[in-house]
A and B are shown apart, each in its own frame.
Chain A
Amino acid sequence: MFKYIYILFTQLDWRFYVTLILIMCAAIFLPAKYLKLFRSVRFNIWLFLALALASAVGSFLYPEPNLYRTWWFCGMLALMTFDVIVCKLLRFPTSVFEKFKKRRHTPPLNSSTVLKLATLKAELQSKLSFDLAQSAVQKFFKEKKFKVKTITDIPVPKSVKKKAVVVLASVQGIQKWGDFILHICIVIILAGGLIGAMYGFEEVLLIPEKTSYIMQNRNYEVELKDFQIEYYESTGAPSLYASDLVVRENGKVVGEKRIVVNEPLDIHRVRFYQASWGMTDDFHNARVHMAGKVVNLKPRQIFDLEGTPLSIRANIFYPTFDINDKRQAFTRDSKGSNPALQIDFLKKEELQARIWILRDQPGVAFKVDQGQVSPTAPPPFFLVDVDPVLFSGVQVGYDPGAPIFWTGAIVFVLGLCLHFYLHRRHLEVVLIPMSQGTKVIVGGRNSRTKSDFENEFENWTDELKEILKCA
């Protein structure tokens, strides 16, 4: 893991670091008045909506994903990253940046800040002495599994010139980190994506059976030892396609696996995926029905037609035969929905005529003349079937940003769960010694709406009243 991180960071371009540092510096050191816009929720909402709109437009232009690579779309993503840093990273609860940014320094709990944030308040008059009331309050919250902290000797409130004690009790306090974690993870996720886009690669290898392919992005020779395809009996749709791959580097085997869809081969984080398949222009064997019997034709093999001075030769095969506007034959795709075989008629090994015969239309044939095709009378034989040479579409991907992306994604989910599924409740109980008994001010705030907390706060206050023997 550490080795990988080391390799990753040593691979990164200096421009990446410079950009990162510039963004961080801008976010940290720019005066607040310039950052005000980026901190505005309204601005961020409009940015969200603009991104959503641009993404929507891009989806209708699919499969041309160029919109997502335009400078302005990437700029909006960069702006979102900058916003997140400005809005969240610099408001890190105990951030190291606070040292540099004194103006954002949160004042410690004192007479002017205690109870200031409380959304709910209750004032009680306890008959217990100051010490007893203090320990009773502490015990009460500890029994309820609250995290309790006591701050002594602070003058609260200002009008009361006495030293008071504040008992701070909180439950599910970890919730406050959720918001921070999830926003920072957005930066991490985008950084992972950026690293992948800058330093990763994608390559599609179309490898015919029993051949090898030299990759462009790695010094790998990829051999397709075998390709298998299976079909559902009921529908004829493919049920499985698999490639037996052998990957060599400088002649030495570095990876070997039978890959299927959803099960890639991984070699030092270069992953080989079974992406597609198809038929090449070549074939192993073509079966032709001729004079009451089926004849097997091998590629470019000459076969004499009995009782005539002619012989035939099967040249190439088109999986999905079609004719374009210039009357030239071509294959529309590699899936084999209209197989056709090109046949040469020879006389003493001299070409006499060249025709196309179609498996699914036995009564139709096309003559080839100077590269153009035209209908002609069908020959005295027809195409039964062709066993084509298949190719496997292997997608190769290397994404050095992926571990960063996944780390960010997992922690992001953690942050979301903390933020939305936990309910942080924070109570500040101020105990002020009075001549008779103790004055107790209870203040409460929570991470959700006030109404979500009202009943609970009321119940706790009632229990405190009982424990503190309030009038």
Chain B
Amino acid sequence: MEEKLFAVTYVAYTVATILFLGYAFTKRENLSHVARWLLIVGAICHVASFIVRTYFARQIPQHSWYVPWSNWFESFSFFTLVIVVEFLIVMGRNRLPILGAFVMPLAWLALIVGINSPFGRQIPTLPPALQSYWMAIHVPVMFISYAAFTMAFGVGLAFLLQEWQLKSKKPNHLTFRLPSLDDMDRMIYRTIAAAFPILTVGVLLGAAWAYDAWGRYWGWDPKETWALITWFIYAAYLHMRLVKGWRGRKAAYMSMLGFACVIFTYVGVNYISELHGFLSNTGR
């Protein structure tokens, strides 16, 4: 059942991504409507697959706190879902389906990374450290902020592409579909400004968990350190934007640097952190 629901999700997201890309380079308006509905169907199936997976996982006696973002596959799958849901909300509010051509490929990529997990797709056994209600709080909060930063990165790509197209004076369909540079610049800022407090809450919830599990709220573990580095980069972005009035390309580059830190914090650090190596099966 879970496999079937996940298969529908995969197909829906894949086709939606292709349709968003098609929408960007053609004049066919209806492509974006179909893509949007596919995303909604995909997201519903995705949530359903998580519910089924959680039900089966909780049959194991020690899994009373099991949540379906506990290993590599589940984590990337959940990350994809959060990006999709946030994108649907942003698209609904701003009526800018064109951004799907920049955000959905990133979400799809996350799903592919999850599917090709080096540790398989089976339900994991939770190490004692992950048998905690904090798992159901800390991780989703972090993912909400990560997904928002992913969207800001996608919009940043669109911004740079639009700027390049305008400078080269060779407009195409995409040029007319994309919003103005000012609008995109503002969207990047708003997304980061909304996600920054959530990232902070996520990091502090992680600190609270560490205080309960390991006896200290901050131990300069690489995961904690890189979360702090990410925080510093986005704090620098916000300061430059709010106090120095940074706009345009420089601000977009800064937001992209922040996203690079997000990715390293999420994936790369698992290979240098013994404590936090849950994705790479080395955590404890």
Binding site for B on A (CB under 8 A): 41-42, 44-45, 48-49, 51-52, 55-56, 58-60, 62-63, 65, 68, 193, 202, 230, 232, 234-235, 237-241, 260-264, 271, 273-276, 395-397, 399, 402, 405-406, 409, 412-413, 416-417, 420-421, 449, 451-452
A405 contacts which chain B residues (CB < 8 A)? 217
Asked if A273 and B239 make an inter-chain contact with CB atoms under 8 angstroms apart, the answer reads: no
Of the candidates B182, B220, B232, the one whose C-beta lies within 8 Å of that of A58 is: B220
Asked if B204 and A262 make an inter-chain contact with CB atoms under 8 angstroms apart, the answer reads: no
Known contacts A48-B236, A58-B220, A420-B193; A262 and B229 CB within 8 A of each other: no
- A-B contact sample (13 more), CB < 8 A, given A45-B244, A264-B212: A45-B239, A48-B235, A55-B226, A62-B220, A237-B125, A237-B127, A261-B128, A261-B131, A262-B128, A271-B215, A402-B217, A413-B200, A420-B196
B:184-230 near A, CB below 8 Å: 186, 189, 193-194, 196-197, 200-201, 204, 207-209, 211-222, 225-226, 228-229
Binding site for A on B (CB under 8 A): 60, 62, 125-129, 131-132, 134, 182, 186, 189, 193-194, 196-197, 200-201, 204, 207-209, 211-222, 225-226, 228-229, 232-233, 235-236, 239-240, 243-244, 269, 272-274, 284
Q: List the B residue with the shortest CB-CB distance to A193.
A: B218
Asked if A51 and B128 make an inter-chain contact with CB atoms under 8 angstroms apart, the answer reads: no
Top 5 A-B residue pairs of the complex, sorted by shortest distance between their CB atoms? A397-B215, A416-B197, A261-B128, A59-B222, A52-B232
Q: Which of B186, B208, B212, B236 has the most CB of A within 10 A?
A: B236
Of the candidates A230, A397, A409, the one whose C-beta lies within 8 Å of that of B216 is: A397
List 14 contacting pairs A-B, 8 Å CB cutoff, sorted by A.
Answer: A49-B236, A52-B228, A52-B233, A59-B220, A193-B218, A262-B134, A264-B212, A397-B216, A399-B216, A413-B197, A413-B200, A417-B197, A421-B197, A451-B182
Asked if A262 and B232 make an inter-chain contact with CB atoms under 8 angstroms apart, the answer reads: no
Known contacts A232-B125, A238-B128, A273-B214; A420 and B274 CB within 8 A of each other: no
Question: Could you tell me the distance between the alpha carbons of A412 and B200 in the complex, rounded to whole angstroms?
Answer: 9
Question: Could you tell me the distance between the alpha carbons of A412 and B204 in the complex, rounded to whole angstroms?
Answer: 10
Of the candidates A48, A413, A451, the one whose C-beta lies within 8 Å of that of B232 is: A48
A239 contacts which chain B residues (CB < 8 A)? 62, 125-126, 128
| Least Cβ–Cβ distance between A213 and chain B, in angstroms | 16
A395 contacts which chain B residues (CB < 8 A)? 214-215
| Least Cβ–Cβ distance between B236 and chain A, in angstroms | 4
Known contacts A55-B228, A451-B182; A62 and B222 CB within 8 A of each other: yes
Asked if B129 and A262 make an inter-chain contact with CB atoms under 8 angstroms apart, the answer reads: yes
Question: Could you tell me the distance between the alpha carbons of A59 and B243 in the complex, rounded to whole angstroms?
Answer: 30
| Least Cβ–Cβ distance between A44 and chain B, in angstroms | 7
Known contacts A62-B273, A413-B197; A56 and B229 CB within 8 A of each other: yes
Question: Could you tell me the distance between the alpha carbons of A261 and B196 in the complex, rounded to whole angstroms?
Answer: 30
Asked if B212 and A262 make an inter-chain contact with CB atoms under 8 angstroms apart, the answer reads: yes
A421 contacts which chain B residues (CB < 8 A)? 194, 197
B272 contacts which chain A residues (CB < 8 A)? 59-60, 62
Question: Could you tell me the distance between the alpha carbons of A282 and B129 in the complex, rounded to whole angstroms?
Answer: 27
Asked if A44 and B129 make an inter-chain contact with CB atoms under 8 angstroms apart, the answer reads: no
B209 contacts which chain A residues (CB < 8 A)? 262
Known contacts A41-B243, A420-B196; A262 and B215 CB within 8 A of each other: no
Asked if A261 and B204 make an inter-chain contact with CB atoms under 8 angstroms apart, the answer reads: no
| Least Cβ–Cβ distance between A451 and chain B, in angstroms | 7
Question: Could you tell me the distance between the alpha carbons of A412 and B214 in the complex, rounded to whole angstroms?
Answer: 23
Known contacts A237-B127, A402-B217; A49 and B232 CB within 8 A of each other: yes
Q: List the B residue with the shortest CB-CB distance to A277.
A: B128
Question: Could you tell me the distance between the alpha carbons of A406 and B194 in the complex, rounded to whole angstroms?
Answer: 22
A52 contacts which chain B residues (CB < 8 A)? 228-229, 232-233, 236
Q: List the B residue with the shortest CB-CB distance to A237.
A: B125
Q: List the A residue with the shortest CB-CB distance to B247.
A: A449
Q: List the A residue with the shortest CB-CB distance to B211.
A: A402
| Least Cβ–Cβ distance between B206 and chain A, in angstroms | 11
Q: List the B residue with the shortest CB-CB distance to A447.
A: B242
B134 contacts which chain A residues (CB < 8 A)? 262
B200 contacts which chain A residues (CB < 8 A)? 412-413, 416
Known contacts A49-B236, A234-B125, A237-B125; A58 and B225 CB within 8 A of each other: yes
B125 contacts which chain A residues (CB < 8 A)? 232, 234-235, 237, 239
Of the candidates B194, B196, B215, B217, the one whose C-beta lies within 8 Å of that of A396 is: B215
Asked if A240 and B62 make an inter-chain contact with CB atoms under 8 angstroms apart, the answer reads: yes
Of the candidates A55, A397, A420, the one whose C-beta lies within 8 Å of that of B225 is: A55
Question: Could you tell me the distance between the alpha carbons of A58 and B201 in the complex, rounded to whole angstroms?
Answer: 24
Known contacts A273-B215, A451-B186; A262 and B132 CB within 8 A of each other: yes
A412 contacts which chain B residues (CB < 8 A)? 200, 204
Q: List the A residue with the shortest CB-CB distance to B199.
A: A416
| Least Cβ–Cβ distance between A108 and chain B, in angstroms | 25
Asked if A68 and B236 make an inter-chain contact with CB atoms under 8 angstroms apart, the answer reads: no
Asked if A262 and B131 make an inter-chain contact with CB atoms under 8 angstroms apart, the answer reads: yes
Q: List the A residue with the shortest CB-CB distance to B272.
A: A62
